[in-house]
Amino acid sequence: VIQDRIGWKPVWVVTKFADDAAFERGEHFEKNTIEGNLLLNEGITEFLALLAGTGGTAFSNANARLGVGDSTTAAGATQTALQAATNKLYKTMETSFPSVSNQTITFRAVFGSAEGNFAWEEFSVMNGSDETPAKNLNRKVSAQVAFGHNVRKSARNSHAM
C-alpha cells in the first residue's frame, strides 16, 4: 500500500479600513491574522471528487464565496455551513481570485462598509451561491471585534500545501 499525505496550513487575514476612501488608498487601521481551520467532510469529499474528475463544483472565481457569521459554535467536521442563524454573509471573490501560487491557494472577498456589520466569529469558503447545495470547504471559529457601520472589510483565506 502506498500512501501520500497532504499538509494543510490555512491562514485567515481580516483587514479593516476606516471607510471606502481608506480602502481605495490601501490604508488599513487593523489587520488580524488567524491561523488554522477545520476542513469539513463535505469540502474534503468535494475536493477529492474534483481531483479525481468524478464530479463536483469548482471553487472558482465564478462559484467561490467567502463567508462570515456570528456563531461561536465550535467547528465540527460534519457541519455543512456557517452556523449563525441570521448574522451571516457570503461574498463573491474579487477579480483574479482564487489564485494559486507556490502550492498555495488564496481566496479573497471584500465586504462593503454597509455589509457584515456584526461580530465576525466564524469563517468559511463555499463553492456556490446558496448554502444548499453548495459545499463548504472549511470552517474557522475565532472571535473578532464587532464591526461598526462604515467600516470596510477585506477577508482573505490562504491554504498552503
Q: What is the pLDDT of residues 135-153, one digit of tens each?
A: 999 999 998 766 655 577 7
Mean pLDDT along residues 2-22: 86
At 119, is the pLDDT very low, low, confident or very high (cuts 50, 70, 90)?
Answer: confident
Query: How many C-alpha atoms does 33 have within 13 Å on its Cβ side?
Result: 5
| Strands of the 136-141 sheet, one edge to the other | 38-39, 136-141, 122-126, 65-69, 88-92
Q: Stretch 86-98: mean pLDDT, rounded?
A: 95
Q: Angle at CA 106, nearest 5°, toward 3 and 44? A: 40
DSSP state for residue 95 in the 8-state scheme:
T
What's the whole-number mean pLDDT along residues 92-121? 91
pLDDT for residue 128 is more than 90: yes
The beta strands (E) that lie in 41-103 are given as 65-69, 88-92, 99-101
pLDDT of residue 17: 86
Work out the mean pLDDT of the chain and round it to a whole number.
89
Q: Could you tell me which residues come within 8 angstroms of residue 129 by beta carbon, excluding any fewer than 6 positions away?
A: 63, 65, 90
Residue 1 pLDDT level (bands cut at 50, 70, 90): confident
Mean pLDDT on 67-88: 96
Nearest partner of 138 among 128, 121, 123, judged by Cα: 123
The single-letter DSSP state of residue 142 is -
71 contacts 140 by C-beta, under 8 angstroms: no
Quick one: pLDDT at residue 21?
87
CA dihedral 109, 111, 116, 122 (to 10 degrees): 20
> pLDDT band at residue 97, thresholds of 50, 70 and 90?
very high
